[in-house]
Structure formats: C-alpha cells, structure tokens
Amino acid sequence: MVKRAHGFTLIEMLAVVAITAILSAMAAPAFKSLVAGQRARATSTDLYAALVLARSEAIKRNTQVTLQPAATAWQGGWRIPNPSDTGHPVANHGPVPGATITGPTAVVYLPNGRVASDTAPSFDIAVDGAETHRCVQVDLSGRPRLQASGC
C-alpha cells in the first residue's frame, strides 16, 4: 500500500508567493493614497474640534480665547492658551508630519462666540500623498465647518 504525502509542493508555494507579491505591489499605491486621505481627514477634524472648543471656552469664560499655532506654522501643532492661567493651556495638539496647513496667524473668539476679525478665517490642509485638500472654514459668527475640498 502506497502512502500519499499531504501538503504543497515547492513549486506551488513559490507560485502563491509570486502571486501575493504581484497583488501587493499593485495595491500599495492605492493603499498609500487611502492612508494619506484619512490623515488629511483626521487633521481637519482635529482642527475643527479645536475651533469648537475655543469658541465654547470663550462663551463659557466670558472672555477672549485664542487658537494659535504652537510653532511658527500650523503643521507644527496648535494650542489654546488658558486666558486666566498661563501655566495650564486649555488644549495642545502636536505636530502633523507630512502636512501643509495654511491659515490665519491666529483665531480669536470674543466672549459672545463670534470671531474677532473682519474676514472669515479658513484653513487649507494638504497631506503628502493625498489626492485632495481639506478645508476648515469659520464664519464670522464663529461656527466652523468642514469641506471635503480645498479652500
């Protein structure tokens, strides 16, 4: 009685590895674009949340509250300093590597929640590898909104 061996041959295994490598190479660029697009979306959502927080803090504290870049540019992160206690900021956001964020030098909210500006601020967010930009616009009443395209 001849016993039959179970398993795969070396040629079958090499064929599967080759097919997997080819499919992975074809999917990698699309996956990178997807990840970059999600990073742009997450960054715009984080900036939107910071604007909402700054506005609500201005209304709650009945004083001016500022959202400003943590470094010289917005991609270096942003922060909301505490108007009554400079040692303890309201919020800090770290840097966003691989992103370019253009926007105003700062967004100042008045105690009534409106923006202390004659022009409505907007932020254009571009992430390396993403196909489109994202936009966060603030109307003069202080309410931010997200836009799935550039400003």
What is the distance of C-alpha 108 from the center of its chain?
21
Task: Let me know if residue 109 belongs to a domain.
Answer: yes
Q: Provide the number of structural domains found in the chain.
A: 1
Task: Let me know if residue 31 belongs to a domain.
Answer: yes
Task: Let me know if residue 1 belongs to a domain.
Answer: no
CB 39 within 8 A of CB 130: yes
State how far the Cα of 42 lies from the Cα of 39, in Å rounded to an integer: 5
Task: Let me know if residue 3 belongs to a domain.
Answer: no
Task: Let me know if residue 45 belongs to a domain.
Answer: yes
State how far the Cα of 113 lies from the Cα of 12, in Å rounded to an integer: 67
Whole-number pLDDT of residue 78: 96
Tokens of 38: 């999600």
pLDDT in tens, 50-88: 999 999 999 999 999 999 999 889 999 999 999 988 889
Q: Domain range for residue 95?
A: 10-147
SS3 93: strand
151 vs 91, more confident: 91
* CATH code of the domain in which 102 resides: 3.55.40.10
Whole-number pLDDT of residue 79: 95
Report, as an integer, the average pLDDT of 139-150: 91
Region of 118 (left: φ > 0; alpha: ψ -120 to 50; beta: rest) is alpha
Whole-number pLDDT of residue 25: 86
Whole-number pLDDT of residue 129: 85
Whole-number pLDDT of residue 45: 96
Residues with Cβ within 8 Å of 93's Cβ and at least 6 positions away in sequence, in order, are 46, 47, 50, 70, 77, 78, 79
CB 69 within 8 A of CB 77: yes
